[in-house]
Structure 1
Amino acid sequence: MKPRSRCKPRSKRRRTGNRRRGAAAVEFAICANIFFVLIFTCMEFARMNMIRNLAQDAAYFAARRAMVPGATAEEATAAADEVMSMMTNTGYEVNVEELDEDAPNVVVTVTVDFDEIALFAPMFLPNATIESTARIRTERYDGFYEQ
């Protein structure tokens, strides 16, 4: 009688590994889409928050520029443009209420059309606008120039 060979049978693990190779690619294809959409959504909302803060700063600095005696609406608009140009040059509008000598407040509104400046806004934030208003008491008063 001949002794039996002590060869081990082929591992099932090796055979199943070859069959799982395609399954890993399919799982990655499904999960990667969800992951990338999540990343782009986070980027878009972070950009929206930066634009909102920038619009607030632009309105505030424009109102500060316009609160002094002799200031014009063009100077206030230029101050807002200077701040907004840090991130974008288009897609926003600056509105300065009429500056009178007897007006107690300066009101500046910055409106940003998010569709024009966003990377993915039509997908995540359709027709979104950001509006920020700054209202500051002026330094103008009746007896200022008579001294």
Structure 2
Amino acid sequence: MPRKRKMNRRRGAAAVEFAVCLPVLTLMVFGSIEASTMIFLKQTLNVAAYEAGREAIRSGSSNANATVRASGILQNREVQDFTIRFPNGESFDAQRGQDIIVEVSAPSGPNSPLLGEFISNRILTSTVVMVKQ
């Protein structure tokens, strides 16, 4: 009989340990998913800004061409509510050697699989500066 009591006590201890650890493990798993998603989003914005910049600095290319290129990348990676800006104007009118700046932004909330439970909604932005060819 004493052996059965020990087994029952051990089962009870295991249940309590599980009940204490489960929320921590769940938080870690979902937090990791959220963090990975935000890293992927930021990297996607970097790639889109870089490719838009590469397109915009080419001789004879315009902001419209660069926007199409960046939009294609962002849409393929299913980024929601993105914006693409060219703060210093039309790249077609820029002279050779002038800086071309491209800013690509997206909010974190609509792009989160967990709807921003762990990270509040922020606007992530990637900026690229390249010299016109």
Say yes or no: TM over 0.5: yes
Unaligned runs of 5+ residues in structure 1 are: 1-9, 140-147
Over 6 Å off, 4+ runs: none
User: Following the alignment from structure 2 to structure 1, what is the Cα–Cα distance between the partners of residues 115 and 74?
Assistant: 19
After superposition, the CA RMSD in angstroms is 1.8
Percent of aligned pairs with the same amino acid: 26
Mapping for residues 10-29 of structure 1, pairs under 5 Å = 10=1, 12-29=2-19
Residue 120 of structure 1 deviates from its aligned partner by 2.7
**Structure with max Cα Rg:** 1
Please, which of 115, 122, 129 is the counterpart of residue 128 of structure 1?
122
Q: TM-score, normalised by structure 1?
A: 0.78
Deviations 1:94-122 (A, max 9, x none): 11242252341221100110011012353
Deviations 1:64-123 (A, max 9, x none): 111112212121111111222232241311112422523412211001100110123532
The corresponding residue for 2:94 is 102
User: Following the alignment from structure 1 to structure 2, what is the Cα–Cα distance between the partners of residues 15 and 69?
Assistant: 83
Q: Give yes or no for contact 1:96–1:109 (8 Å, CA) kept in 2.
A: yes
How many residues are aligned here?
129
User: Following the alignment from structure 1 to structure 2, what is the Cα–Cα distance between the partners of residues 41 and 77?
Assistant: 33
Q: Give yes or no for contact 2:49–2:70 (8 Å, CA) kept in 1.
A: yes
- SS of 1:122's equivalent in the other structure is coil
The corresponding residue for 2:48 is 58
The corresponding residue for 2:132 is 138
User: Following the alignment from structure 2 to structure 1, what is the Cα–Cα distance between the partners of residues 39 and 5?
Assistant: 52
User: Following the alignment from structure 1 to structure 2, what is the Cα–Cα distance between the partners of residues 102 and 20?
Assistant: 75
User: Following the alignment from structure 1 to structure 2, what is the Cα–Cα distance between the partners of residues 89 and 122?
Assistant: 15
Worse overlay, 24-33 or 57-66: 24-33
Please, which of 80, 83, 87 is the counterpart of residue 90 of structure 1?
80
